[in-house]
Structure 1
Amino acid sequence: MARDILIETLDGNRVRLRPMVPGDEGALRHAISQLSSHSRYLRFFNGAATLPDHVVRRLSDVDGNKHIAWAAIDESKDDKPIIGAVHAQRSSEEDKRGDFSIGLLDAWHSKGLARLLIALLAAESSKAGFEELIADVLWENKKGRALMGAIGAKSMGSDGSTIQFRMVLEEVLSKLSEKHISPAMDAVLIALEGDDFFESAA
């Protein structure tokens, strides 16, 4: 079974979901440059037009164990650009807790992609030994806070500017599996039921 899934968004766009690989660094850098300054601020807490190379390099430096990431690809474009990505990162293989982040190009918001990417990330991270992920969300990021609530993440408190959410992966997967959110989510959940899904080559 291939590790990529071709789905249609809620409005009919064809998107491929696949694991991110180190070779995606250039495509990821381009995707970040396409974010609006406000979206870059909400995602990176910094609205600068470009990010330091070491930040982009860290985001693309995936190993399938300490750093797991999935990308969404626009299948309608010849160059198949990255339009979104979700990450789970931890400092060592023994850590059960990691850091969570997600970003989508502005034009692809509210199309159901975030939950699809989170389901894939949660399933693979759980298989790799993660038990929970921590997400820091700016108070002003209403959509981000709503997403955390929708997937069952719980607030751990606030420092005044950000809210920290705890995502227990088993609970997140249960939340995303409890009803038919969309045909695309059904396709993702069916793929995740395959015993060999995460053993297949990317």
Structure 2
Amino acid sequence: MDNRAIYTSLKTGKRIYLRPIRPQDSLRIRDTIANLSEQSRYYRFFSGMKKVPEPVLQRLVAVDGVNHLAWGALDLGEHDLPAIGVIRVVRDPESGVAELAIATLDAFHNTGLARILMAVIICDCLQAGIDTMQANVLAENKKARALFKTFGGVCTHSDGAYLTYTLDVAKMDALIHGVDIPEAVSDVFHAFDRFNAYKPRLAG
């Protein structure tokens, strides 16, 4: 089991706990999707479905740490640690390009959570050897488009309603290190430094 853990705080001061998604998180992910607003579900899944089909849910938690990376942000202020945001990439073994998807509960928009999750997935992709991400987004989803542009995303395909942004992971890493780094993002970097330092001891 991947036991990496990151503790930090949002802009609001709320404490959160970040860790990789596990197979036993299926109920937690189901509840998170149900708690998204209809618009947020539509933006994330291109569908307003409130209940995710079981096969889809199982794919969402089938994380292997190589071609499928996923992290959840859990609310430490609640006894059952609900997931308030999830980010994932799924790499195509042939092309090497990983599809990126991110969703946060509506109550946590504009709290810095999306940027924290992006920092986590950038660090994890660098470790996993993922060089390029692509994100499919609805043209009307202005917040997601702005987020991807902030990280150097370039629109490489458009059919009107849907856009595809391509992101270079090394460029994303340089951009997020090249700004006034929020304390929460700094917590992510420090945590991955610890994870990397611990690897040789695990192997030895």
Asked if Structure 1 and Structure 2 have the same fold, meaning a TM-score greater than 0.5 normalized by the shorter chain, the answer is yes
What is the aligned partner in structure 2 of residue 3 from structure 1? Answer: 4
* Deviation, structure 1 residue 191: 2.1
Q: 1:86 maps to which residue? A: 87
Paired with 1:147 and 1:41, the residues of 2 have a C-alpha distance of: 17
Tell me: CA distance 1:163–1:197, structure 2 relative to 1, closer, same or farther (3 Å).
farther
- The verdict on how the C-alpha distance between 1:156 and 1:198 changes in structure 2, with shifts beyond 3 A counting, is farther
In the alignment, the residues of structure 2 paired with residue 8 and residue 129 of structure 1 have an alpha-carbon distance, to the nearest angstrom, of: 28
- Deviation at residue 121 of structure 1 after TM alignment: 1.1
| 1:13 correspondence with 2:18 | no
Q: TM-score, normalised by structure 2?
A: 0.91
Q: Please list the CA deviations of residues 134-177 of structure 1 after superposition, one character each: whole Å capped at 9, or x if unmatched.
A: 10110100101110111111111311101100011111111111
Is 1:53 matched up with 2:54? Answer: yes
What do residues 21-64 of structure 1 show as CA deviations (whole Å, max 9, x unaligned)?
A: 11111100111010111110011000122121111111111010
1: CA distance between counterparts of 2:20 and 2:200? 12
For the residue of structure 2 that corresponds to 1:3, the secondary structure is coil
User: For 1:55-80, what per-residue CA distance to the aligned partner results, in whole angstroms no more than 9, with x for missing partners?
Assistant: 11111110101100011000000000
Shift of 1:91: 3.5
Residue 123 of structure 2 contacts residue 189 of structure 2 at CA under 8 Å; is this kept in 1?
no
2:28 aligned partner, one-letter code: A
Q: How does 1:56-135 map to 2 (within 5 A)?
A: 56-92=57-93, 95-135=95-135
Q: Which amino acid aligns with 1:42?
A: Y
Change (3 A) 1:137 1:72: same
Change in Cα spacing, 1:49 to 1:199, as seen in structure 2 (3 Å) is farther
* Alignment of structure 1 residues 132-147 onto 2, 5 Å: 132-147=132-147
1:54 match: secondary structure: helix
* 1:193 corresponds to 2:193: yes
Percent sequence identity over matched residues? 35
Give the Cα–Cα distance (whole angstroms) in 2 for the partners of residues 74 and 191 of structure 1. Answer: 18
The alpha carbon displacement at 1:197 in A equals 6.0
C-alpha distance in 1 between matches for 2:200 and 2:51 = 36
* Alignment RMSD: 1.8
SS in 1 for 2:59: helix
Q: Please tell me whether the aligned partners of residues 115 and 176 of structure 1 are also in contact (alpha carbons under 8 angstroms).
A: no
* Bigger relative contact order (CA 8 A; separation at least 6): 1
Tell me, yes or no, if the aligned pair for 1:42 and 1:138 is still in contact at 8 Å.
yes
Give the structure with the larger helix fraction.
Answer: 2
**Gaps spanning 5+ residues in structure 2: where?**
none
Aligned length: 199
Number of the residue aligned with 1:37: 38
1:161 maps to 161
- TM-score normalised according to structure 1 size: 0.92
Where does structure 1 lack aligned partners over 5 or more consecutive residues? none
Structure-2 residue corresponding to 1:179: 179
Q: What secondary structure sits across from 2:29 in the alignment?
A: helix
Do the aligned partners of 1:69 and 1:86 also contact (CA within 8 Å) in 2? yes
Matched position secondary structure for 2:51: coil
